Amino acid sequence: MGLQDARRIEVRPDARISYRRKPDPHNYIFTPYESDLDETHRGPAVLTVDGKQIDVKVHLMGHLQPIDGSYRWYGRIFADPNVTSAHRNGHKDVTVKIPGGLERAGRLTEVDPWGNIRITGSGRPPFPYP
């Protein structure tokens, strides 16, 4: 009897079990999830828009661009009516300062559906980084 005459092909139970592969844990490196506090900042900040200081809550992060070697930082300013009105009135260039940090220039770019505003910048960020 050949394959052309077969109506059903069945794999024997012992054949299925012998080919079941199990991952070897020694082939992997397991690392726990840890927030890298050196490259992010989540918390209070002072935003200066047109000489007016606004206390805001931000989540900032950044990375090094491998092509040009510059550091790009970005993040969200949580919904604040003063920042939203400044953004809508065309004030895009701002400065950001976090507690204990230096003031850095940034740019307001867009508003998300929840009212948070994206901010971007390049060069040294307002938060400490390695």
**Can you give the CATH number for the domain in which 98 is found?**
2.40.10
Q: Are 64 and 71 in contact (CB under 8 A)?
A: yes
* Residue 62: burial class (beta carbons within 10 Å; 0-12, 13-18, 19+): buried
Q: Residue 37: its pLDDT value, please?
A: 47
Q: Are 100 and 43 in contact (CB under 8 A)?
A: no
Q: Which domain holds residue 76?
A: 40-122
State yes or no: pLDDT of 122 exceeds 60. Answer: yes
pTM recorded for the entire structure: 0.68
Q: Residue 105: its pLDDT value, please?
A: 96
Mean pLDDT over residues 81-104, rounded?
92
Beta strands in the chain (DSSP E): 40-49, 52-64, 71-77, 93-97, 104-111, 117-122
pLDDT band, residue 127 (cuts 50/70/90): confident
Q: Calculate ∠ Cα 22-26-32, nearest 5°.
A: 105
Q: Is residue 32 part of a domain?
A: no
Q: Is residue 67 part of a domain?
A: yes
Q: Is residue 89 part of a domain?
A: yes
Q: Is residue 2 part of a domain?
A: no
Per-residue model confidence as pLDDT tens digits over 31-47: 655 555 456 889 999 99
Total domains in the fold of the chain:
1
